[in-house]
């Protein structure tokens, strides 16, 4: 049987998603918990990796098991063996054609950035922070030049393992409420550090150190060394993964827990 899971986690306590020898990753903890319920070793495959300190409101994974368990066991049963920072929020039996990574046609991320003279306390590690106001109108104008299918090498980490830097950025919206900026991004897929590098470049725009023409030139340069630094991971959330309707997985709209961060 192949099972798909929706998983949320606070990334601050872990060394990212991908399993590592030290064992302190989200994937390691999830595999261990699933193995206890299944009664045999379980290995998960995810829609995409997240870095240390990056969170997920809706990561999607799948695994195979011969164990016959009610779907609720893959949710409540597994959660009983997970650390409090990780929770399975739904489980679905899927066909063997489903693959959490290769069946996905889009990924969505959200970045929260607090602009305030004083660093946050209560939301530390859950929002990014910059100590001065930013020109949001200029940031929106510069963001528009990134939409569409482009070579995003200027926003790609050196250690990125993607086969191609060509990605289709379908959404890049910026909203602001009382000094809290929210960046919503959707693409067919993202390069390693791509969202954090885009946010870092837009921060330069908001500070007046880069304009729309400069952003276009940066994109065209396809050279990471010409771009601003990678921004902090604290405010970054994987918010959803798009799949064909045939797999009948919960949509982002159905994941009511997302309303906490809208």
Instruction: Tell me the catalytic residues.
Output: 51
Residues 6+ apart with CB under 8 A from 127: 112, 113, 114, 120, 180, 234, 235
Q: Rounded to whole angstroms, how far apart are CA atoms 19 and 186?
A: 25
Question: Which DSSP string do the residues of 167-231 spell out, in sequence order?
Answer: EEEEEEEEEEETTEEEEEEEES---TTHHHHHHHHHHHHHTTSS-HHHHHHHHHHT-GGGSPPPP
DSSP state of 2: E
**Shortest CA distance to 77 belongs to which of 40, 42, 38, 46?**
38
DSSP letter (8 states) at residue 163: S
Rg (CA), the chain: 19
- What distance in Å separates the CA atoms of residue 24 and residue 212, rounded to the nearest whole number? 41
Q: Degrees (nearest 5) of the Cα angle 187, 188, 190?
A: 65
Q: How far is CA 205 from the centre of its chain?
A: 23
As a whole number of angstroms, the distance between CA 57 and CA 48 comes to 13
* Residue 29 Cα to chain centre, angstroms: 18
**Helical packing angle, 136-144 and 212-221, nearest 10°:** 40
């Amino acid at each position: 049987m192949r099972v798909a899971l929706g998983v949320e986690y606070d990334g601050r306590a872990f060394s990212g998603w991908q399993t590592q020898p030290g064992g302190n990753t989200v994937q390691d903890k999830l595999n261990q918990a699933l193995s206890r319920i299944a009664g045999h070793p379980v290995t998960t495959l995810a829609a995409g990796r997240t870095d240390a300190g990056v969170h997920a409101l809706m990561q999607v994974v799948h695994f195979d098991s011969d164990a016959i368990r009610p779907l609720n066991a893959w949710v409540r049963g597994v959660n009983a063996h997970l650390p409090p920072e990780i929770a399975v929020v739904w489980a679905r039996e899927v066909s063997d054609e489903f693959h959490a990574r290769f069946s996905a046609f889009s990924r969505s991320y959200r970045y929260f950035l607090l602009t305030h003279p004083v660093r946050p306390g209560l939301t530390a590690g859950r929002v990014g922070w910059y100590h001065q106001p930013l020109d949001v109108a200029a940031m929106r104008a510069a963001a528009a030049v990134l939409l569409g299918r482009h070579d995003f090498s200027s926003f790609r980490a050196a250690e990125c393992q993607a086969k191609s830097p060509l990605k289709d950025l379908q959404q890049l919206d910026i909203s602001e409420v009382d000094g809290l900026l929210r960046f919503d991004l959707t693409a067919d897929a993202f390069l390693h550090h791509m969202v954090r590098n885009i946010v870092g470049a837009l921060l330069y725009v908001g500070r007046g150190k880069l304009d729309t023409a400069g952003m276009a030139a940066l994109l065209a340069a396809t050279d990471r060394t010409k771009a601003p630094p990678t921004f902090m991971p604290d405010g970054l959330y994987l918010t959803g993964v798009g799949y064909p309707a045939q797999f009948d997985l919960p949509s982002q709209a159905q994941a009511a827990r997302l309303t906490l961060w809208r």
